[in-house]
Amino acid sequence: MEVRIGKYQLHYGEEPCISGTRGSGTVFFSGCNMRCVFCQNAPISHHGKGRQYTVEELSDIFRELEDKGAHNINIVTGSVWADRIIEAFKLYRPSIPVVWNSSGYETVETLKKLEEYVDVYLPDYKYEDSSLAFNFSGRRDYPEVAGDAIREMLRQKGNPVFDEDGIIQKGVIIRHLVLPLHLKNSESVIANFRRHFGDAWVSLMLQYTPVIHSDEYPELNRTLTKRECEKITGLLSDSGIENGYIQDISAAVPDLIPDF
């Protein structure tokens, strides 16, 4: 059995509780069950760039990243390879937390298989607007599927638990990327967050970075404006959501995007 991997490395571009000071041991898998037109990992997610590794070699990668001092093993877009990743964890189970970093578009069945092996879930919740989900990601049912998936993640792991250095050991953090000119979608995500996910932690991401310039989606050809950022952070402040992160516009630089 094999998997396709675009890159693996110590990665410092995640939330502070994941990257920490030593980096997150991140494995970027090729392929994705979504087709987001703004994906910053498009060479691997859309075009399949990467090389084949056996399950045994994947387990060695986990060990190598752990030996380099990683705070965790961070599985990025592993959904299409979930069964083979589980086989690799059966061969070698790291002594550091395992992070499942995904679009949120997961089946509950897959998540139940992962429960024994994953400590931290880091899902996106991209859309409340199903039309936008279809236009930008090809998944009209995204709000329903991701909502069910994230509730299952919360059932399994609950809210974050940190060690004495502030590094997450267990739990769920839900990411939402704000898209330029589509603040109504983000407003709806924030307004409905507690109804969907209770007192869960949020990571509000304001660092949208255009990686392609599209005539079809011209609104995506720029970063957020200061006014857009201020409006969304104000809504978050007023929402009653108490815990989480705001990743601000200063992170909207291509330097933080891995070179595939």
Ordered domains of the chain (ranges, CATH): 2-256 (3.20.20.70)
**Is the per-residue pLDDT at 259 higher than 80?**
no
**Rounded Cα distance, 242 and 237, in Å:** 8
Percent of the chain with pLDDT over 90: 87
List pLDDT tens digits, range 143-184: 999 999 999 999 999 999 999 999 999 999 999 999 999 999
| pLDDT at residue 102, as a whole number | 97
Q: How many CB atoms lie within 10 A of CB 85?
A: 26
**Rounded Cα distance, 13 and 70, in Å:** 13
- Identify which of 122, 33, 26, 24 has the alpha carbon closest to the alpha carbon of residue 80: 33
| Residue 84: both structure tokens together | 């083979």
**Rounded Cα distance, 76 and 65, in Å:** 14
∠ CA(60), CA(61), CA(64), 5° rounding? Answer: 85
- Identify which of 18, 88, 24, 9 has the alpha carbon closest to the alpha carbon of residue 245: 18
What confidence category does residue 40 fall into, taking pLDDT thresholds of 50, 70 and 90?
confident
Local structure of 36: helix, strand or coil: coil
List pLDDT tens digits, range 69-124: 999 999 999 999 999 999 999 999 999 999 999 999 999 999 999 999 999 999 99
| pLDDT at residue 254, as a whole number | 55
Sign of CA dihedral 203, 198, 160, 91: negative
